[in-house]
């Protein structure tokens, strides 16, 4: 019985002993309190039996015992260390308790955990840069494709490269005329096998010199100073070479014409030796032909007129020049000249300067302006052809008076009727009309005969 008591006392002691052993030093647990607690929150002790922390772990620690520390590049999620989701700035590890990036995301990354590519970047590294999506849309962040297609002339679906046949920084340039229809390099526009005929390397977008037109098949005209014409329009930058005209300087003005306002027009005047005028200026390079003057030798020299400047002016008053077109003298003629040309004498005058008066021409006719001859004979008793003197044996203002009986049958003075050498025998007086010895009848008879004879003579002269 006593043994039973003793035995149960020992057991009791043992129990007590065990109970006492549970009371470990702070931050220790387990049998014999041989284990240290983990990293409990706020430095609290853990359960002395199990070692569990009551209110969770200190930052960056996990596990029931808060004895697991996450490595750089991982963070605690559901009590486990998992890989950081994204990429923090400067590739820093993410916050081990939250998984976020304490100093922000690395370039090209975004999202709460910097786990997503920023707009316009793609692929697992967010190193891909979006192409040229239509409407400036952003590309898919995983595969980089544009959701609704590309900007014009970019290649689907990534819109990074130019569509075939285009090149340039914005794929806005069409390939030139590559030989055999080849496609140009989409970056530099170079045609791989050279150009079609008439185009030049490297891009085959420019015509060979001196060619133009959509296919570079047209030849430039004659541009001034040998310049190249515009490849689009074919026009010359500084106008045409001398003598050429037309929009493309491909029309040559023929001799005798020149370029005026883009057209070939007739030379205006007459050049020396009838040379053609200068085709670009219209002037006469070696001067004017005789009788011509003016910038273009287009005007008659003073003193000449008509279309050929062959007309010589007449005697204009005071030596004025005549009109260069029709030859008339604007202020009238010199004395005795005939208006309007002042070339001929006034009727009734003749001589080199029309200074001589015509004689007594029959019917008041004008005499020949050069010779002074009367065309149709004289007024009665005047001597043909000039009709300026009396017929022989006539005298007086109107030559109507008969001479007397002058010696040797000579005519009397036409002015006075005097017989200057004296009278015939039997006659006397200054006019020798006074009979000295002959019978009156005889004298009268003789006078009648003489009168008839002389009138007959006058008639034959005027015929
Ligand atoms: C973990 O990251 C921190 C902060 O970047 C750094 O100071 C530390 O040295 C890193 N530890 C290891 C073991 O690389
Ligand atoms: C991690 O995040 C927590 C909560 O925001 C913060 O208290 C702690 O200081 C952060 N750790 C570091 C190393 O910045
Ligand atoms: C991501 O970056 C690494 C290292 O720079 C590289 O080797 C890999 O090819 C990249 N991946 C993609 C999809 O760009
Ligand atoms: C890229 O991803 C989007 C969305 O998942 C998909 O619709 C599209 O077909 C993909 N494009 C390519 C070229 O893989
Ligand atoms: C050819 O094309 C390239 C790219 O578009 C451009 O940079 C270059 O100026 C072009 N060359 C000529 C001579 O036009
Ligand atoms: C240019 O070439 C094309 C194709 O060869 C042709 O159809 C067109 O008529 C040509 N144009 C001219 C102005 O020669
Ligand atoms: C025509 O005139 C121009 C300009 O004065 C000159 O340069 C050129 O030599 C002339 N032509 C001839 C054929 O003299
Ligand atoms: C001369 O004739 C004119 C005109 O017929 C006349 O007036 C004049 O009297 C005549 N003179 C003489 C001297 O007969
Ligand atoms: C678990 C453990 O270490 N138990 C030990 C406690 O102490 C006694 C006496 O020293 C040991 O015998 C146990 O092994």
Q: Which residues, in sequence order, are CB contacts of 69 under 8 Å at separation 6+?
A: 39, 60, 61
Q: Are 40 and 66 in contact (CB under 8 A)?
A: yes
Question: Which run of H or E residues covers position 109?
Answer: strand 109-110
Q: Each residue of 200-258: pLDDT tens digit?
A: 988 898 899 899 988 899 999 999 999 999 988 999 999 898 888 888 999 888 899 99
pLDDT for residue 304: 94
Ligand 9 atom with the shortest distance to the CA of 32:
6
Among the bound ligands, the one closest to the CA of 224: 7
Q: Each residue of 12-60: pLDDT tens digit?
A: 444 444 444 457 888 999 988 999 999 999 999 999 999 999 988 998 8
Instruction: Give the model's confidence band at 445: pLDDT under 50 very low, under 70 low, under 90 confident, else very high.
Output: low
pLDDT for residue 443: 55
Q: Of all protein residues, whose CA lies closest to atom 2 belonging to ligand 6?
A: 215
Q: Of all protein residues, whose CA lies closest to atom 2 belonging to ligand 1?
A: 72
Count helices and strands (H / E) in the chain: 2, 30
Among the bound ligands, the one closest to the CA of 417: 8
The answer to whether residue 339 scores a pLDDT higher than 50 is: yes
Q: What is the mean pLDDT of the chain?
A: 87
pLDDT for residue 19: 44
Q: Which residues, in sequence order, are CB contacts of 147 under 8 Å at separation 6+?
A: 133, 137, 139, 140
Which of 127, 130, 144 has the most ligand 3 atoms within 8 A of CB, as the residue to mutate?
Answer: 127
pLDDT for residue 21: 44
Place of tokens 């300026």: 388
Number of neighbouring beta carbons within 10 Å of residue 418:
16
The dihedrals phi and psi of 211, each to the nearest 5 degrees, come to -130, 155
Give how far Cα 407 sits from Cα of 427, 433, 443, Å. 9, 12, 16
Q: Which residues, in sequence order, are CB contacts of 1 under 8 Å at separation 6+?
A: none
Q: Each residue of 415-425: pLDDT tens digit?
A: 888 888 888 88
pLDDT for residue 62: 92
- How far the first Cα of the chain sits from its last, in Å, is 221
More confident residue, 450 or 10: 450
| Distance of CA 82 from the midpoint of ligand 1 (Å) | 17
Q: Of all protein residues, whose CA lies closest to atom 4 belonging to ligand 6?
A: 215
Specify the 3-state DSSP secondary structure of 136: helix
pLDDT for residue 414: 81
User: What does the block give as tokens for 144?
Assistant: 């980089």
User: What does the block give as tokens for 102?
Assistant: 């304490």
Lowest-confidence pick of 73-77, 193-197, 459-463? 459-463
| Distance of CA 129 from the midpoint of ligand 5 (Å) | 25
The answer to whether residue 395 scores a pLDDT higher than 90 is: no
Average pLDDT over residues 277-298: 92
Ligand 3 atom with the shortest distance to the CA of 128:
14
Q: Which residues, in sequence order, are CB contacts of 191 under 8 Å at separation 6+?
A: 175, 176, 177, 178, 179, 182, 184, 185, 201, 202, 203, 204
Ligand 1 atom with the shortest distance to the CA of 72:
1
Q: Of all protein residues, whose CA lies closest to atom 11 belonging to ligand 1?
A: 72
Among the bound ligands, the one closest to the CA of 32: 9
Percentage of the chain beyond pLDDT 90 is 49
The answer to whether residue 2 scores a pLDDT higher than 60 is: no
- Full-model pTM: 0.49
pLDDT for residue 452: 63
Most confidently modeled of 132-146, 333-347, 350-364, 389-403?
Answer: 132-146
Find out whether the beta carbon of 420 lies less than 6 Å from any atom of ligand 3.
Answer: no
pLDDT for residue 13: 41
Instruction: Give the model's confidence band at 462: pLDDT under 50 very low, under 70 low, under 90 confident, else very high.
Output: very low
pLDDT for residue 438: 54
Average pLDDT over residues 134-141: 96
Instruction: Give the model's confidence band at 347: pLDDT under 50 very low, under 70 low, under 90 confident, else very high.
Output: confident
Cα dihedral value 192, 197, 201, 203, nearest 10: -70
Find out whether the beta carbon of 95 lies less than 6 Å from any atom of ligand 2.
Answer: yes
Among 266, 262, 231, 267, residue whose Cα is nearest residue 249: 262
Q: Of all protein residues, whose CA lies closest to atom 5 belonging to ligand 1?
A: 92
Find out whether the beta carbon of 145 lies less than 6 Å from any atom of ligand 4.
Answer: yes
Instruction: Give the model's confidence band at 463: pLDDT under 50 very low, under 70 low, under 90 confident, else very high.
Output: very low
pLDDT for residue 5: 54
| Distance of CA 123 from the midpoint of ligand 4 (Å) | 12
Alpha carbon distance 462, 387 (integer Å): 10
pLDDT for residue 417: 86
Find out whether the beta carbon of 102 lies less than 6 Å from any atom of ligand 2.
Answer: yes
User: What does the block give as tokens for 80?
Assistant: 């486990």
Find out whether the beta carbon of 205 lies less than 6 Å from any atom of ligand 5.
Answer: yes
Ligand 2 atom with the shortest distance to the CA of 95:
1
Average pLDDT over residues 274-293: 92
User: What does the block give as tokens for 431?
Assistant: 């006019």
| Distance of CA 160 from the midpoint of ligand 3 (Å) | 18
Find out whether the beta carbon of 151 lies less than 6 Å from any atom of ligand 1.
Answer: no
What residues does each domain of the chain span?
347-380, 390-463
């Amino acid at each position: 019985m006593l043994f039973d008591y003793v035995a149960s006392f020992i057991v009791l002691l043992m129990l007590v002993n065990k109970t006492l052993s549970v009371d470990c030093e702070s931050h220790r647990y387990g049998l014999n309190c041989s284990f240290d607690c983990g990293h409990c929150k706020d430095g609290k002790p853990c359960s002395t039996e199990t070692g569990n922390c009551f209110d969770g772990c200190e930052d960056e620690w996990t596990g029931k015992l808060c004895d697991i520390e996450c490595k750089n590049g991982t963070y605690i999620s559901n009590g486990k260390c998992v890989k950081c989701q994204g990429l923090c700035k400067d590739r820093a590890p993410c916050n081990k308790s939250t998984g976020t990036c304490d100093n922000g995301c690395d370039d090209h990354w975004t999202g709460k955990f910097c786990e997503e590519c920023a707009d316009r970047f793609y692929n697992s590294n967010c190193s891909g840069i979006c192409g040229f999506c239509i409407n400036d849309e952003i590309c898919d962040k995983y595969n980089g494709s544009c959701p609704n297609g590309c900007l014009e002339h970019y290649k689907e679906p990534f819109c990074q490269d130019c569509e075939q046949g285009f090149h340039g920084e914005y794929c806005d340039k069409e390939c030139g005329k590559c030989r055999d229809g080849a496609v140009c390099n989409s970056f530099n526009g170079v045609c791989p096998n050279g150009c079609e005929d008439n185009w030049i390397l490297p891009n085959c977008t420019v015509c060979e010199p001196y060619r133009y037109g959509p296919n570079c098949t047209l030849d430039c005209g004659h541009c001034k100073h040998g310049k190249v014409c515009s490849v689009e329009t074919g026009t010359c930058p500084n106008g045409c070479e001398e003598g050429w005209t037309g929009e493309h300087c491909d029309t040559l003005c023929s001799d005798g014409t020149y370029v005026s306002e883009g057209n070939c027009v007739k030379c205006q005047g007459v050049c020396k030796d009838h040379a053609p005028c200068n085709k670009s200026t219209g002037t006469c390079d070696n001067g004017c032909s005789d009788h011509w003057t003016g910038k273009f030798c287009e005007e008659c020299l003073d003193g000449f007129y008509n279309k050929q400047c062959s007309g010589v002016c007449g005697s204009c008053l005071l030596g004025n020049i005549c009109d260069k077109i029709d030859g008339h003298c604007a202020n009238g003629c010199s004395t005795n000249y005939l208006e309007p040309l002042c070339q001929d004498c006034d009727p009734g005058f003749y001589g080199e300067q029309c200074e001589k008066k015509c004689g007594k021409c029959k019917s008041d006719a004008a005499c020949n302006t050069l010779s002074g001859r009367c065309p149709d004979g004289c007024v009665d008793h005047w001597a043909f052809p000039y009709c300026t003197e009396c017929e022989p044996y006539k005298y007086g203002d109107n030559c109507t008076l008969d001479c007397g009986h002058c010696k040797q049958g000579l005519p009397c003075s036409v002015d006075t009727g005097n017989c200057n050498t004296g009278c015939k025998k039997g006659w006397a007086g200054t006019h020798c009309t006074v009979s000295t010895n002959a019978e009156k009848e005889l004298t009268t008879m003789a006078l009648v005969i003489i009168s008839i004879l002389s009138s007959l003579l006058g008639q034959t002269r005027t015929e």
